[in-house]
Structure 1
């Protein structure tokens, strides 16, 4: 079973951001990230598939129409889509609000046609409760296995898989444990990470000689606030890799309910923020110098997690660097959830009809490979106040849309963040690395006014 290419049944898509809300509030337009999974509307090209898509706030009809424009029969597909909104964009996860609305849960139950499974953005106890109420299986790892997606659990699995990692210590909580770990590691500074941090926002770079100069990835963070989170959630302390240039590849893998695991993509991540560790976008595939090593390490990790009962899509982040013996890739963390590289991969897969070749690590459209460059953070003041439909029409008018014949061009996402935040994302697909990068550059310049 694959959520990218289901043959039949109902996908109940619950893109709830069931994550630590303190970090989530630091992301501009975070509530619009519920739209990241709208690429799943493209699965409606298969006549046996139905989609129920839930959201905290209504999704602009022009956004839905945009995704339908990729389908061969939009009108027929529309009959198999049910958009259900809570019309309540409050500051709590979608699923938490949904559980307090039995009327909406009944709407979902009535809309399910035949076999179904619930596809969450993040799987927490809230999504497990919802799945039980709907009596449908979950496509994601059980919360009892969540430890393996924490920073400490990642180190444990990496060790078992014999995957290289930075030196460090896991399962820490107190200031004393942090101090012991800091001074047990080499180098002038270390990196401290919260177990459940995401997008790099739970990280801190600590100079050994002056903790007052600690650089927190999250704006406004202090040792008082960070220490309280660390005490509650736990975390790791690892050596800070000073080697430059340093690359940031990742792997995307899936495990079926039957226990089959495979790696479906590798990427190079584009990072930003004060510590250059906050996810901004990605390129596919990862560089040839370390692509195979990343894929092999990811496959070993996926096999171990499959044995432990993990199901669904998940990502693994790595560091890569050039050494005297060639390139080396070190495991950074495992993210047992749909991540930032999932929607670009899904969009590219479903629009081009390509398939992943594990031997080469390429997406192949027949004998032609596909490449893409993606961002979640195209933002400019000139975009604020515009509508999603207006931006879509602008992209098409400039010849930057998706060419159905060549199967190259842009696929837009996060369109709902445009009016208030002047922000969107897009995936630029080309027949070469150079074509994808150039299209991405031109599109960003066109949207951001140069």
Structure 2
């Protein structure tokens, strides 16, 4: 497989993410698929991946030497600002020629997200994409999510989609009265970036109403321009409490077979508590089943329309009578923030997902985890990935291959310059995973 971790997303939001170039490393968990002797992996990156990081992942395998012989790391030697990797590859005939030499007739392109650039690269290499056809990519937008949600018959917040101007947004907001607060979301926003939380006042335009943007630099003038370029939805802000933010991870095969592979509870932060920071697995018992049920209905609709690949669905879980209901929030037709923690846990423990219970089971034991992309400290800055691995091993916080518990690191390339790293803390109970996570944060804080 050709792994293409290109962040082919709006660059305005990308610039706000610390160490964003290192987010190309979040798909390195797929190196663990080399445990299968018939698998070959070609991993693309803008900058060279530190050899210590590659060796770290291969160290989880029984036969790292065999895996190393079937792994090809291909980098561009650096890039411009936040230019997406795929776009840069398309400008490099030498890299494309190298990829043609390495790929065989059974190769697949596995991208982070599908855009016109990924489609062009697929055509240049004459290999198929494991991802949605480009003409269906809109189903992963905020508008597309509402379209798919309506077709699936799942509940959603009251709202309006397919809005392309500030006057249209204003009209939609008036139609949602008397909602006290509204969420305006750009169609292609991600990780909570591209949102505006508005406190509505009778007779007062949105532009003059109290507004909290996901970015401190955003204004209504800049946001209105983005609405006209990228489209938006307006939804009633969910005021019910308690309010939980579970998500579901699903896959659809090229043959149209779909299944739900995981549920999570998202850990959110930021000024509006809508920016993704991490997750816990699995989603809480109280609403896991209803989230899975809604995710299944949506997956069925997407499969019928021809979507393939891995994708995520975010929900709000609110009380309904004696139970819960799951309101669809958005669909992400791409690799998401919960994909790499689940992949890392699945492949390091050798477990399998039990659809009946919604749990990960390895050697008869259920596995739980807490994951973050955002462990930052001044102590980490200037360290090497190897320094951090050795520290955690010395403290008993590394991965125990016998018990199949412990930490699996990611975003390690961001350690020296940004003092930032991600990790997935795996335990045999929620409590063990949480305690391990807290101990690791403390250890990495110096």
TM-score category of the 2 structures, normalised to the smaller one: over 0.9
2:44: which partner in 1? Answer: 54
1:217: which partner in 2? Answer: 214
2:341: which partner in 1? Answer: 344
Match of 1:233 among 230, 234, 239: 230
1:446: which partner in 2? Answer: 443
Name the stretch that deviates more: 342-351 or 87-96: 87-96
2:262: which partner in 1? Answer: 265
Corresponding position: 1:147 with 2:144: no
2:300: which partner in 1? Answer: 303
Match of 2:125 among 123, 130, 134: 134
- Pairwise CA distance, 1:187: 2.1
What is the rounded CA distance, in whole Å, between the counterparts of 1:365 and 1:447 in structure 2? 28
2:9: which partner in 1? Answer: 19
Contact 2:268 2:275 in 1 (8 A): yes
- Pairwise CA distance, 1:212: 4.2
- Pairwise CA distance, 1:245: 2.0
TM-score norm. by structure 1 comes to 0.96
Post-superposition CA distance 1:63-89 (Å, at most 9, x none): 001001100011111000000110123
Contact 1:50 1:113 in 2 (8 A): no
1:170: which partner in 2? Answer: 161
- Pairwise CA distance, 1:208: 1.0
Corresponding position: 1:81 with 2:78: no
- Pairwise CA distance, 1:396: 0.9
What is the rounded CA distance, in whole Å, between the counterparts of 1:356 and 1:197 in structure 2? 30
- Pairwise CA distance, 1:134: 0.6
Post-superposition CA distance 1:174-222 (Å, at most 9, x none): 1111111112213211000000000110100011126342100122000
Corresponding position: 1:404 with 2:401: yes
1:94: which partner in 2? Answer: 85
Match of 2:31 among 41, 55, 64: 41
What is the rounded CA distance, in whole Å, between the counterparts of 2:90 and 2:168 in structure 1? 39
Cα RMSD of the aligned pairs, angstroms, is: 0.9
What is the rounded CA distance, in whole Å, between the counterparts of 2:242 and 2:445 in structure 1? 29
1:28: which partner in 2? Answer: 18
Structure 2: state its 5+ residue gaps: none
Contact 1:31 1:89 in 2 (8 A): no
What is the rounded CA distance, in whole Å, between the counterparts of 1:189 and 1:264 in structure 2? 34
Contact 1:193 1:235 in 2 (8 A): yes
2:390: which partner in 1? Answer: 393
1:383: which partner in 2? Answer: 380
Count of residue correspondences: 439
Corresponding position: 1:180 with 2:177: no
- Pairwise CA distance, 1:263: 0.4
- Pairwise CA distance, 1:311: 0.6
Name the stretch that deviates more: 62-71 or 322-331: 322-331
Contact 2:282 2:359 in 1 (8 A): yes
1:191: which partner in 2? Answer: 183
Contact 1:26 1:219 in 2 (8 A): no
TM-score norm. by structure 2 comes to 0.97
Structure 1: state its 5+ residue gaps: 1-10
Contact 1:96 1:126 in 2 (8 A): yes
What is the rounded CA distance, in whole Å, between the counterparts of 1:113 and 1:177 in structure 2? 50
Match of 1:314 among 311, 315, 318: 311
